[in-house]
Structure formats: C-alpha cells, structure tokens
Amino acid sequence: MRSDLVKKGLERAPHRSLFKAMGYTDAELERPLIGIANATNSIVPGHMGLDKITAAVEAGIRMAGGTPVNFGVIGVCDGIAMGHAGMRYSLASRELIADSVEVMAEAHAFDGLVLVPNCDKIVPGMLMAAARINIPSILISGGPMLAGRYQGKAVDLNTVFEGIGAVQAGKMTSLELAAIEEAACPGCGSCSGMFTANSMNCMAEVLGLALPGNGTIPAVSAARIRLAKEAGMQIVRLVEAELKPRDILTLAAFRNALTVDMALGCSTNTVLHLPAIAHETGLKLSLEMINNISDNTPHLCHLRPGGPHHVEDLDEAGGVAALMRELAKGELLDLSALTVNLKSVGENIKKAVNRRSDVIRSLEAPYHQKGGLAILWGNLAPQGAVVKQGAVLPAMLSHTGPARVFDSEEAAVNVILSGGINAGDVIVIRYEGPKGGPGMREMLTPTSAVVGMGLDDSVALVTDGRFSGATRGAAIGHISPEAAEGGPIALVKEGDEVRIDIPGQKIELLVSEDELAARKVAWQPKGRTVTGYLSRYAKLVTSAATGAILED
C-alpha cells in the first residue's frame, strides 16, 4: 500500500508513535489510510452540514476495512462574497483548494481520497486535485438546499437578489422583500437552483467520480447520509481495484459531462471548471468543442434561474441518471465510460426512470433544440465569450444597442439602481477578468438588478468577468482577451453600438478596424493595486478562454 511509506518497517517507528499519539491502533495502521478532504465550516450554508456527511463517510470506510483520516479544506460562500471585493477571492480559491488537497495527500501518503465539498469553487478545486494526484478518489457532496416557500410559491436566493431591483423599481415593497429574505433559504445545502454548485455536483456524477445521486439528493435527506456511507465503502474497493481518477476522466467522460451540461442548462462557470479539470489530466477542452456539443444537444431541463423547477424536482424526476437515460436514446452519450462504482455509464443508467416528464423532457419535445450554453465570437471577443442561452428571453437572443461602459462592477450597479440604464442599452463591465479583477468576480448583483427592474427583455450585459449560476437574461461573460490584457473590450467607448447574435454565435463591436487600431495605440493599461495572494494570482492566471488556470 502507498501508506506503507509512513507506517511500515523499523525506520517508521517514530511515524507510528505520532499516529498513536492521536489514538490510532496497530490494527488501524494495517488497513488502507483514506484521506477525507472535509470542507465543513459555519460560513457556507452548503457546508454547514458536511460534518454529518464526513461522519457517514468515516463509518463507511471502517465498514469496508479502511482507516479514515480527516483533514480540513477552506471554502468561500459566493453569495456572501457577492457584490464586494471579497468576490475576487472566490475563483482564486479554486487553485488554493487544489493545492492544499495535493499537499495533504502527498505529504501523508494516503492510499485513497474521499472529497467532501458542496459549493462553487470547492467542488472543481477538489476534482482538479484528484486528477492531479491520481490516487483512487471519490467525491460525495453535501447535497442541494430545498427551495423556500413564500405565498404558496417556490423561492430561492436568486429571488432575493432580484428583489433588490424590484424594490428600487417600485414593483415590490421592502416589507415583501424582508419576508422573502426570511423564506428563501430554508436550511443547509447548496443553493436550490441549477446554479454553479449544483451544476458541478451533477458534473462530478456524470464524469464518473461521484456515485449516482450525488448531484440531486437533497442535503436534508437521509438518502444523502446513506450515499455518504456508500462512498466511504466504495473508496476502499477503489483502492483494492487500483482504479484511479485518470482511468475515469477520459475524453469520453468529459464529452458526456458537456452533453449533460447542455441538456441541464448548467451554470456558465462550467466553461471555466471542466477545462481546468481536464487540464490536470493532460486533456484539452476547446470552446469550439463546447459549441459543437451544444449545437447537437437539446435542452431538456429548465431549472432555476431560467425555468420554474429546482434541483429537488430533478431528484424527484429520477435525477441525473434519468436525464442521461433520455440522452442515451439519441445515442448522445458514451455508455462505455467507467465510473467509481466500477460500473459503466450504461450499467448505471439502465434502470433509471423519468418520473416527471415536465422536469425532464423527451428528446422529441425539448425546451430548446440547442443546449443551455453557447460560445460567442467576434471582434469584441476574438478568443470567445459565453452565455447561458437557455436563460435568455427570446426578445434578447438578437440585440443591438449602445454601450454603457463601466470600469468596475460597483460603478455599473450604482447607475443601474439609480435608474440610469435605458431600454436597449448594452451594459459593458470591464477590468473584472481573471487578471484585471483580479479574480474574475461574478456579476449576480447587476444582472439581478436588471431583471428585478423589469429590463431583462431590453437590456444586455457584457463583461470580461463572469456570472453566478443564478444569473439569467442576456448576460455575456468571459469576454476574452480581457480588458487588462488589452482585449477589444478595453477599447469600447460610451455609445458605441454592440451587436449580439446568440443564435449566430456572434458578438461584435460596430466600430471600424481603423478606429479600433487607433484606440489601441492610445490605450493605457489599468489595474488595481492588490497585495498578498491576489497579487501572485494575477501574475499567474491565464485567460478565461482556457479555464482561468494558472501558468505551469
């Protein structure tokens, strides 16, 4: 066993004495040592229950004959970090998480890893670590939050964000918003729509590094605890079988993930995270590949923020497996891909049943003929941009309007909430990319304000930053190259016409090449003064078009 490096032989007597200082017995040290990357904390609602998940994992490991070793991992709550400087640390934390899991696994020679995350950057960060370290690994998340209820209707965190704009526009009273605030997030779990956290937990299941049910079983369900015990038992079997992440994370697995991504209408952040995970395996996912898969995959689930359903509805319908069974009817998946339960995708979904055709539609009756995401190109985004096309109103799929230019999120929000944006405008927020932010902040505050004020049928937002999975509307992010690198978005002036053609996969600045060349000559770089980790991150991070990975 790999862990023999720290526990076997005469020369390891000092090492064993340290284990015994923590109460480990000789019998426990004879078994495989399974590291548990545990992201429990009391600042992220999705992570407040991970102590119970971790305890269940430990029980499963012991039942299967392994010895669990629990260690902590950081986690940022994107909702709490939203709309202020703290959001600069969210995407940047992904790299810290991957690095810290690598450090713990390599320093202590674990035989296997169980990854226990739930939210946003923590899930992809741990998956990146698993791919990098390449020892037997399995992920078990904390599960989605249930939707709240207000006046007989389902509500969620997105409802609260959009309520701010509604109050500013006189469409809702502050007392009504306060009541929704109390009801929207009823307990632990990752926020209840198909936002980034739940998108990535579903992707972990499709990639094959998590057991069936990981993406949708609610956080408060006993089934989630049972699944955690199963994950604990399964990691010991994976160690015995010597099945490693790179045996599972093949190109076929990533193509399956992108296909399910498009059918689900996942967060635009998957376009950052799936390429970053693939990079750790030596594979490359191009934006062209993503568009090709989107063009050939129907959008079958319409969950929040774009549609009416929540993740609990998808679970009731049969979960990710039922959706994959539907996709398999059209031969859209590679059913031979291997998964952590030592079965193929085809075996896993063989008995899956769609129990709610209103949640998972058939291939013959999709919500949209094309997938939930689209990559746009043009002279404003030569290296690409991304939009959640499944959450865009039909009136905004094609739009041309004057640019309203802002060099920060805060500047844009102030004007939006003061009523300074007019129907037809294209809000341009720049210097918020991976380097320019730094940290590529999410823009849920401005997009929610636009929706809440009733402007989502006439106003678009374009940024070199990114969007929360809760964002809806004509919100085009990841504009690459970013402004801080001198990309064309840095050259946009107030009043320039911007043309958006989502069906045609185009985004263009209607300014002549000669004028843009003259502006480029006169352009002066802008930057924010940052210190500490963000300073180092800004120097190493690459374009959003490549997953905002760090330079090797």
Give catalytic residue positions. Answer: 468
Instruction: Return the residue matching tokens 């032989």.
Output: 9
Check: CB of residue 460 under 8 Å from CB of residue 403.
Answer: no
CA angle 518, 520, 522 (to 5 degrees): 75
For strand 153-155 and strand 398-406, is the pairing parallel, antiparallel, or unpaired? unpaired
Give one DSSP letter per residue of 424-441, joined into a string.
T-EEEE-S-STTTTTS--
Which residue in 313, 242, 271, 309 sits closest to 440, CA to CA?
271
Give one DSSP letter per residue of 159-221, joined into a string.
HHHHHHHHHHTTSS-HHHHHHHHHHS--SSSB-SSS-HHHHHHHHHHHHTSB-TTTTTS-TTS
- How far is Cα 498 from Cα 349, in angstroms, rounded to an integer? 45
Q: Give the amino acid at 264.
A: L
Which residue in 324, 213, 356 sits closest to 258, CA to CA?
324
The count of other CB atoms within 10 Å of the CB of residue 61 is: 27
For 260, half-sphere exposure in the C-beta direction (CA atoms, 13 angstrom radius) is: 32
- How far is Cα 369 from Cα 389, in angstroms, rounded to an integer? 11
Check: CB of residue 348 under 8 Å from CB of residue 212.
Answer: yes
Instruction: Collect all residues with Cβ–Cβ distance below 8 Å to 418 and sequence separation of at least 6.
Output: none
- How far is Cα 466 from Cα 203, in angstroms, rounded to an integer? 19
Phi, psi of 172 (to 5 degrees): -150, 145
The crossing angle, in degrees rounded to 10, of helices 251-264 and 319-329 is 100
Check: CB of residue 11 under 8 Å from CB of residue 89.
Answer: no
Instruction: Please give the structure tokens belonging to residue 310.
Output: 């929540």
| Consecutive H or E run containing 376 | strand 374-378
Distance of CA 79 to the CA centre of its chain: 13
- How far is Cα 110 from Cα 4, in angstroms, rounded to an integer? 9
- How far is Cα 461 from Cα 475, in angstroms, rounded to an integer? 5
The count of other CB atoms within 10 Å of the CB of residue 59 is: 16
